[in-house]
Chain A
Amino acid sequence: MNIDFNSEKPIFMQIAEGLEDAILAGAFEEEGQIPSITEISVMYKINPATALKGINILVDSGIVYKKRGLGMFVKAGAVKQIKEIRKEKFFEDYISSLIEEAGKLGLKENDIKEMIERGFRR
């Protein structure tokens, strides 16, 4: 997980997505513990309030939960849940902007399909 201070994306979003990535990749197991606010904010040199905001996004979407006195833990079924959310975002992030960029370059639908097939063959 890396924080890009120059990115358009707010830092707390980067934290939330970075943690999601880690959960998807299996770095944090379901029912396992994730780093504390203190650890995250020290690691990335960001204000703890920002780190908290990022974690709260995951709490709100039901991906992590708080165990009183112990810390934050990954909910069971989080991986599946993240994948679902991401699939929808995939269309927004990649497909929409792909079509837009294609328009700028003058590429047609068939050109795109050809390129995708080429990509999968690699």
Chain B
Amino acid sequence: MNLRASYKYQLADNKKSMIIYMSIIVAITLFLYLATIFTFSVNGVTTQFTSMEFASVIFLFVTGLCSFKDNFLMLTQNGISRKTMFVSSILNFVTLSGILTAFGAILLLLVKLLAKENILSTGMYETVYSVRAASISGFLMNVESIILNFCVFLMVIGIGYLITLIFYRLNKAGKIAVGVGVPVFFTMIFPLFDFFVTGNRISLAIGRFLNCASGFSSQNPYAGIISSICVFAIVSGLSWLLMRRAVVKA
């Protein structure tokens, strides 16, 4: 069945980079762990380290950015329709996000078991929902944290994919316009416009919206989870619209 063949290929394509990434994380974690043991035995100092979730976010974003062109050409050469390609890409994203979520959770668990009170770890969840983290059981926090990580990973890889699709579909002039125009707009035009013309009202409104969507002030991680899924759904929908008429260029 062609969905299976397509999924298998895309997964294999990511295998190497995933293994390298995960090995690096393990190596760094091991190093920190050993360093902690050493310093503790010498100075009685505890170590706090931020978990590698943020690294995974960046890794997955970049993976999303690399997930279209080469795959599209290879899969089209082998008779796969864009429909099937899209579905298998989504499945791929879910798989990769799942793997890295599980990987992060297991690594954390191992470190905690081995080092107990000597190592403190803060991830995305604890950073954003610190109040809630302190008030609920460790087990519930872990569960919510895992779900949150998975959804954020998914969102981020989807965004990378959409960006690379936009650039594939654009012609040369479009690429320059977007590549220069978008950063300039957000870093210069928009802030200036907002400051001088609308008295910062737009920025405030955006800030309030983000606050609400992420559940930051309400300390509600489920808002963040749902928002991430929504963003993923939206970027995926847009990706499909761009992909369905994509044409093979060398």
Q: Does chain A touch chain B in the assembled complex, meaning CB atoms less than 8 Å apart? A: no
A contact residues vs B (CB 8 Å cutoff): none
